[in-house]
Structure 1
Amino acid sequence: MPEHEQGDQQREFDLRWADGAEHKEPSARARMLASRWKHNPPGPVPFRAGPEHVGSRRRSSWISTAVVLGCVAAVIVLLGYINFRAPY
């Protein structure tokens, strides 16, 4: 049996062995959050943001889009000016 196939079978065996474990240790993030929440539990969070947050996000996305497009246009104009002024 080629060596890479043996490695694949060993990895598959290890995954099946790990998935079949009776006790699974939580991730580091889960342990950190559990420790933090034990002393200071989080408050309720709505599933969706209220309408006051939606408008500001939409407005800021248009502003950022305008800034990006303005920068791209400025670079195009600058490169055209440099190309126009360059001696041939």
Structure 2
Amino acid sequence: MAEQDEWEREFDQRWANSAEHKEPSARARMLAARWKENPPDPAPFRADPDSARPDRPSWVSTAVVLGCVAAVILLLGYARIRDGY
């Protein structure tokens, strides 16, 4: 019983969460120090939609997917005919 009380006292989450001051993480401290000397360039919230466009038209990927589905259907049909079902 004493071991459980010691465990609860050592790792009291309610007490830790109720702290008035919370220290930032190591990554936050590192970025703050780095950005103080060399601030990052401003960047838009959303990327430019033209940069995310693929190089080929959208119908090409659709044709590839449908071609693969047709090939699988033909392969399964051939295997079924060959086995005699």
TM-score (norm 1): 0.48
TM-score (norm 2): 0.49
Q: Which has the higher helix share?
A: 1
